[in-house]
Amino acid sequence: MTSVITPAPHNAVARSLGNGSAAHDEILRVEDLKVHFPLMKGVVIQRQVGTVKAVDGVSFAIQRGETLGLVGESGCGKSTMGLAVLRMLEPTAGRVLFEGRDVTRLDKDRMRPIRRRMQMVYQDPYGSLDPRMTVREIVGEPLRVHGMARDRDAYRGRVEALLIMVGMLPDMAERYPHEFSGGQRQRIGIARALALEPSLVVCDEPVSALDVSIQAQVVNLFIELQERLGLTYIFIAHNLAVVRHISNRVAVMYLGRIVEIAGRDELYRAPLHPYTEALLAAIPVADPDVEARRPRAIIKGEIGSALKPPSGCRFHPRCPKVMERCKQVEPLLSNYSAGRAVACHLYSAPA
Nearer to other proteins by Cβ, of 105 and 269: the residue is: 269
What does the alpha-carbon distance between residue 51 and residue 38 come to, in Å, rounded to a whole number? 5
Give 69's strand partners: 235, 250
For position 217 contacting other proteins by CB under 8 A, the verdict is yes
For position 183 contacting other proteins by CB under 8 A, the verdict is yes
| Size of the chain, expressed as the number of residues it contains | 351
Of the candidate residues 34, 187, 245, 314, the single one contacting other proteins (CB under 8 A): 245
Three-class DSSP labels, 56-123 = EEEEEEEECCCEEEEECCCCCCHHHHHHHHCCCCCCCEEEEEECCEECCCCCHHHHHHHHCCEEEECC
Of the candidate residues 11, 46, 220, 328, the single one contacting other proteins (CB under 8 A): 220
For position 184 contacting other proteins by CB under 8 A, the verdict is yes
Interacting span for other proteins (CB under 8 A) from 86-94, 158-166, 178-186, 330-338: 178-186
Nearer to other proteins by Cβ, of 3 and 213: the residue is: 213
Minimum CB separation of residue 92 from other proteins in Å reads 25
What does the alpha-carbon distance between residue 13 and residue 16 come to, in Å, rounded to a whole number? 6
For position 44 contacting other proteins by CB under 8 A, the verdict is no
CB 210 within 8 A of CB 185: no
For position 281 contacting other proteins by CB under 8 A, the verdict is yes
For position 307 contacting other proteins by CB under 8 A, the verdict is no
CB 63 within 8 A of CB 24: yes
Which stretches does DSSP call E strand in 17-46? 26-41
For position 289 contacting other proteins by CB under 8 A, the verdict is yes
What does the alpha-carbon distance between residue 1 and residue 85 come to, in Å, rounded to a whole number? 20
Give the neighbor-by-neighbor strand order of the sheet with 93-98.
47-63, 26-41, 93-98, 101-102
Of the candidate residues 195, 255, 280, 326, the single one contacting other proteins (CB under 8 A): 280
Interacting span for other proteins (CB under 8 A) from 2-10, 103-111, 275-283, 335-343: 275-283
For position 285 contacting other proteins by CB under 8 A, the verdict is yes
Interacting span for other proteins (CB under 8 A) from 46-54, 195-203, 214-222, 343-351: 214-222
Of the candidate residues 5, 49, 145, 282, the single one contacting other proteins (CB under 8 A): 282
Instruction: State which of positions 70-109 bind other proteins (CB under 8 A).
Output: 73-74
Of the candidate residues 100, 288, 295, 350, the single one contacting other proteins (CB under 8 A): 288
Nearer to other proteins by Cβ, of 179 and 197: the residue is: 179
CB 307 within 8 A of CB 52: yes
Contact map string, positions 103 to 142, toward other proteins, x by CB under 8 A: ----------------------------------------
Number of H helices, E strands in the chain: 11, 12
Determine the size of the site formed for other proteins (CB under 8 A).
Answer: 46
Environment class of 95 (CB within 10 Å of its CB; exposed 0-12, middle 13-18, buried 19+) = middle
Measured at the CA of 342, the angle between CA 339 and CA 344, to 5 degrees, comes to 160
What does the alpha-carbon distance between residue 351 and residue 341 come to, in Å, rounded to a whole number? 19
Interacting span for other proteins (CB under 8 A) from 83-91, 94-102, 197-205, 209-217: 209-217
For position 344 contacting other proteins by CB under 8 A, the verdict is no
Pairing of strands 67-71, 249-254: parallel
Cβ neighbours of residue 79 under 8 Å, at least 6 residues apart?
204, 205, 236
Binding site for other proteins (CB under 8 A): 73-74, 181-184, 211-217, 219-220, 223, 238-242, 244-245, 264, 268, 278-291, 296, 298-300, 302-303, 318
